[in-house]
Amino acid sequence: MIARTGNPVRTSRRTPTQRHVGSVAGVLLLSIVTLAMTSAVGVAQSPETTPGTVQSPGAAESTNGEPTIGVQLLRDPKRVTFGSSTGRFRLEAPDRDKSKKIVPGKTATQIVPLATMSVEYRKKGDGRWIFAVAPELAKKSKSGPRGYQFYDGQQFRVRADGAPYTEVGGRRYEGWIEFTWIPDAEGTGSWRMVNRLPMERYLAGVLAGEMTSAEPAALQAQAIAARTFALYQMLTRSPGARIHVDASIRSQKYVGGKQDSAILDAVQSTRGEVLFHQGRLFKSQYHSTCGGHTAGGSATFGTPNIKTLTSVRCTYCRNERFTKKGWSCSIPEKEIRNVIKRVAAAPPYNIALGRISKIEPVDKQKGGHATYVKITHSGGHFELDATEFRNRLLFDGGFRDLRSTSFAITKQGDAFHFTGHGFGHGVGMCQRGAMRAAVEGLDAIQILKFYYRGADVVQLW
């Protein structure tokens, strides 16, 4: 383990000696991952646990301790079309030990045992071959024409054959595109389309989505924060989980693709480095613009009272649009009610939400981020976690203009008018601030230690 403690003059490349230390200590590092998981999530570690094994999802596929991560690209895909620069694909059903190379000229019915699924392989007008699957048809067919039981609870996967990327929906991804059937409590379920690839390659696709153009120090800080966040997500999923993160901002934005050299440098020069606080991995949240102060961790994030996620004053983002000018938006009362009534109806509230007359920020933190919102409606009032309130309006309602929880709220006719500062949930690293801090000469460690107080950078693989 290499613990880095904020050397003011940081070189972006590790020396060969350090690299050597890292690889020799590989087995040790793996047990640290286990320990980190244990302490982070309170899972009892069995004394029989073999040293050097990581009791975590994807560990079986890891190399040199680098885990393989499952990134959900799409929930309930109806029809997916793949492209490959070679025109060839590989289709596998790993749990059936079936593997098929799909080459031009083969028809769908030859792709056994997947003939029961709607598959299509054809030449497009531009001469390129595409391969399409429509998994939703498959789940309706318990047994196919050849008597195959279909894929309940199982997986199949596709990748371009002989090409570095598999093209899906206008993007290019490395690794496998996996289709996993996730059963639900009602006895049905849904297909999920998942990109499975090594962690470091995933991180390059995250940087491309989260921070494309910045000084090397900011990109390195972003890589370490994103790696920590992803590993935390992996280690807190149930063992054997095939999906660890979402490709959207619900987790961190992942766009795959071929990344530029600045991004690749930032990922490679921080390989395996994550944030620890007092020997524990923590959920290293980050966001676009804090607006002047970051927000503390909250129950919504599963990070209450974590010292590394306390509010800090950030002047680095002072010239950013959402700090300087702020933002405003109006959302009709009816729309808010439609979104929030589902939350209100569920435990612990169990409230039939009536017409909303007032929404007030409660327990404003130093920088203005509300901890709760008090919602007064025709049936009474209740308090809802402010981030939960925003997340529901953002993710369920699509109200992207509600930029943060650092807001004031007024009722204007049939709508609520929000005015606020900052962009994002406000917890952890302020990305625009980090970018500015790097311009002002802070290195990656200094940036991370500024936003995550008391954190250390540790190399795990």
The whole-angstrom separation of Cα 140 and Cα 9 is: 61
In the complex, what is the shortest distance from the CB of residue 292 to Zn ion, in angstroms, rounded to a whole number?
A: 7
**Minimal distance, residue 301 CB to Zn ion, in Å:** 18
Residue 247 in tokens: 């490709």
Q: Which is nearer to Zn ion, 370 or 430 (CB)?
A: 430
Looking at residues 419 to 448 of the shown chain, list those that interact with Zn ion (rule: CB under 5 A): 430, 433
Binding mask 171-210 for Zn ion (x = CB under 5 A): ----------------------------------------
Following DSSP, what letter does each residue of 351-375 receive, concatenated? -----EEEEEEES--TTS--SEEEE
> In what helix (H) or strand (E) does residue 450 lie, and over which residues does it extend?
helix 444-451
Selection from 177, 235, 226, 181 nearest residue 59 by Cα: 235
Indicate the residue among 220 and 323 with the shorter CB distance to Zn ion: 323
- Residue with smaller CB distance to Zn ion, 256 or 326: 326
Question: Least distance to Zn ion from the beta carbon of 293, Å?
Answer: 8
- Interaction pattern, residues 82-121, with Zn ion; x per rule: CB under 5 A: ----------------------------------------
Stretch that binds Zn ion, among 106-114, 279-287, 313-321, 353-361 (CB under 5 A): 313-321
Q: Site for Zn ion (CB under 5 A): how many residues?
A: 5
Nearest distance in Å: CB 454, Zn ion: 19
Cβ proximity to Zn ion, 114 vs 430, nearer residue: 430
The residue among 179 and 316 lying less far from Zn ion, judged by its C-beta, is 316
Q: For the CB of residue 428, give the shortest distance to Zn ion in the complex, in Å.
A: 11
CA 245: distance to chain centroid?
4
Contact pick of 73, 309, 314, 402 for Zn ion (by CB under 5 A): 314
Out of 138, 266, 267, 317, the only residue in the binding site for Zn ion (CB under 5 A) is: 317
- The nearest distance, CB 134 to Zn ion, in angstroms, is 45
Among 206, 222, 202, 210, residue whose Cα is nearest residue 266: 222
- Smallest distance, Å, CB 173 to Zn ion? 32
Touching Zn ion, residues 243-302 (CB under 5 A): 290
Do strands 245-246 and 68-75 pair parallel, antiparallel, or not at all (unpaired)? Answer: parallel
* C-alpha pair distances (Å), 195 with each of 85, 159, 161, 168: 18, 10, 16, 10
Task: State the residue for tokens 């910045």.
Answer: 214
d(CA 254, CA 274): 18
Beta strands 286-287 and 429-430 are parallel
As measured in angstroms, the least distance from the Cβ of 430 to Zn ion is: 3
Q: Per residue, what are the HEC states of 191-212?
A: EEEEEEEEHHHHHHHHHHHHCC
**133 lines the binding site for Zn ion (CB under 5 A):** no
Task: Choose the stretch contacting Zn ion; rule: CB under 5 A; options: 16-24, 170-178, 307-315, 326-334.
Answer: 307-315
Nearer to Zn ion, 431 or 459 (CB): 431
Distance of CA 106 to CAs 121, 156, 159, 170, Å? 8, 19, 16, 24
317 vs 344 by CB, closer to Zn ion? 317
Distance (Å, rounded) from C-alpha 225 to C-alpha 88? 37
* Nearest-approach distance from CB 323 to Zn ion, in angstroms: 7
Tokens of 103: 């080459």
The interface region with Zn ion, picked from 26-34, 105-113, 308-316, 356-364 by CB under 5 A, is 308-316
Contacts of 218 (CB under 8 A, 6+ apart): 211, 431, 434, 435, 437, 438, 444, 447
Q: Which residues bind Zn ion (CB under 5 A)?
A: 290, 314, 317, 430, 433
